[in-house]
Chain A
Amino acid sequence: MNKRVHTRRIVRRLIFVLMIITAYIIQCSVLPLLNAPVPVFILIPLLISVAMFEKEFSGFFFGVLTGALWDTAASLPDGILALTMSFFAGFTGLMSRYIIRNTLLNTLILSLAGCIAYSAMSLILVPGSLSAAAAEELIKTVYIPGCASALALAIPVYFTVRAIAMRLREETV
């Protein structure tokens, strides 16, 4: 393999790793400690955007990293997010390679699907019995604002990831 192609690939992936770590710190440490009024699921649109460009195999490993980081802060059973995020990322990469085009609209749709799946999983795995009223309250106050914030952030996140992927793409060399 061309050495420059190899270097570009490594630099691009390192940047994505740094972006994921930064997003994790913002989502799980900085914003909650500043008592942000709504939860922000920034990791989901970032992972989906990265997986759209990195495709299924490396996207899968970005999913493992994202989920494992999120696991350290989440109240869900340890390891479950690494499992689900790797699945989301692998699935997105596969979709992006074989079925759908890599566009903002598709990223938004997949990010929304990811947020809904995460919310559903969190609701199912909430310890203790969850009444309908409590579930409704949780959806209104936690999950809908979280999904909305993720969708709003998906747009700048997608363009940032695209800019990095385009600048450091392997074919141009």
Chain B
Amino acid sequence: MRNFFTTKKFRVMLSVWTALLLGIFVAAVSDSGSTPFSSALSFIMSPLHNAAVRFADTFGDFNAKFTSSKTYADEAASLQEEIAELRSQLVDYEKSLHKLHAYEEFLEVKEKNPDFSFVPAEIILRDSTDIYGSFTLNRGTADGVILNCPVIYGDSLVGIVKTVTADTCTVYTLLHPEVSAGAYEIHTRENCFTSANTEYSLNGIIKAEGLSKNTPVVSGGIICTSGIGGIFPKDLIIGTVKEIEINETQLAAYAVIEPVNDYSLLTDVFIITDFEGKAQTESGNE
């Protein structure tokens, strides 16, 4: 075994390893946040990702049919087929309704904000071990997506683009500690900013920090983006206040917020590529 470390093969492996290490540094300092190797692979794999999304959709339908036939196993075969067919149609209907609802909301947002430029995107990859609900979309620099583009669903904020290749981009949701948005509560107009930590993210909640100790914000209040900083447009809904807590220093308060969206259930989102007041910054936080 000792001889292996003096062979040409070992030197080749070491060179590749060094190149990979270099790639990580390149990714860390580059605008896209991704290694050249990842960018190339994303491009090559994008047709397969789309096929996988179609497969997941088809399998979902098949599952509905299967459940239906199992449930109605005692009924006549013709009735079973009919029920399965109706169920399948219902699944399609619900999916269409869901999509229509998202597009209606999107249209409303577009009408309210004619300065917004959107790109519709589909979720193609997820890291199942990521507690922050990050996901990868099928849009990249070729579609005008750049680093720090806000991502929305309907009129609510989902997160921000953190790495981008030619065909794909990775989105960090509001549950991610690296994402923070300037915000305000719509009734009291009190300014705050969102933050996340692991414990909160595990429960699917975030914080709105920077509230005064005697804040008039109460449970049920709605938190929206303030637009300060120029990363996120103004008036995108972040979530609802669950409770108000006083922080450890006893000098200020923070609100516990339940985001509008369950990020694990999202399948389609919109990326805002441009809006009035957008800052030309490299920072991901406001």
Chain A interface (Cβ < 8 Å from any Cβ of B): 21, 25, 27-36, 39-40, 56-57, 60-61, 64, 68-69, 71-75, 77-80, 82-83, 86-87, 90, 94, 97-99, 122, 126-131, 133-134, 137-138, 142-143, 146
- Whether B23 contacts A82 by the Cβ 8 Å rule is yes
Question: Cβ of B119: which chain A residues have Cβ within 8 Å of it?
Answer: none
Give the distance in Å from the alpha carbon of A127 to the alpha carbon of B201 in the complex. Answer: 11
Given contacts A57-B9, A137-B202, A143-B129, is CB(A78)–CB(B56) below 8 Å?
no
Question: Cβ of B202: which chain A residues have Cβ within 8 Å of it?
Answer: 134, 137-138
B130 within 8 A of A: yes
Main secondary structure of the interface of A (DSSP, over half): helix
- Partner of A79 from B20, B52, B129, B265 at Cβ < 8 Å: B20
- Whether B124 contacts A79 by the Cβ 8 Å rule is no
Taking each of A61, A97, A127, which has the highest tally of chain B beta carbons within 10 Å of its own beta carbon?
A: A127
What distance in Å separates the Cβ of A65 from its nearest Cβ neighbour in chain B?
A: 9
- Whether B129 contacts A146 by the Cβ 8 Å rule is yes
- Whether A64 contacts B178 by the Cβ 8 Å rule is no
User: Which 6 pairs from chain A and chain B are nearest by CB?
Assistant: A128-B177, A32-B126, A39-B128, A29-B52, A79-B24, A73-B125
What distance in Å separates the Cβ of A37 from its nearest Cβ neighbour in chain B?
A: 10
Give the distance in Å from the alpha carbon of A90 to the alpha carbon of B202 in the complex. Answer: 35
Give the distance in Å from the alpha carbon of A128 to the alpha carbon of B156 in the complex. Answer: 24
- Whether A30 contacts B56 by the Cβ 8 Å rule is yes
- B63's closest neighbor in chain A, by CB? A34
What distance in Å separates the Cβ of A90 from its nearest Cβ neighbour in chain B?
A: 6
Give the distance in Å from the alpha carbon of A16 to the alpha carbon of B279 in the complex. Answer: 47
- Whether B1 contacts A99 by the Cβ 8 Å rule is yes
Taking each of A32, A60, A73, which has the highest tally of chain B beta carbons within 10 Å of its own beta carbon?
A: A73
Give the distance in Å from the alpha carbon of A131 to the alpha carbon of B38 in the complex. Answer: 31
- Whether B13 contacts A79 by the Cβ 8 Å rule is no
- Whether B34 contacts A131 by the Cβ 8 Å rule is no
Give the distance in Å from the alpha carbon of A86 to the alpha carbon of B37 in the complex. Answer: 14
- Whether B198 contacts A78 by the Cβ 8 Å rule is no
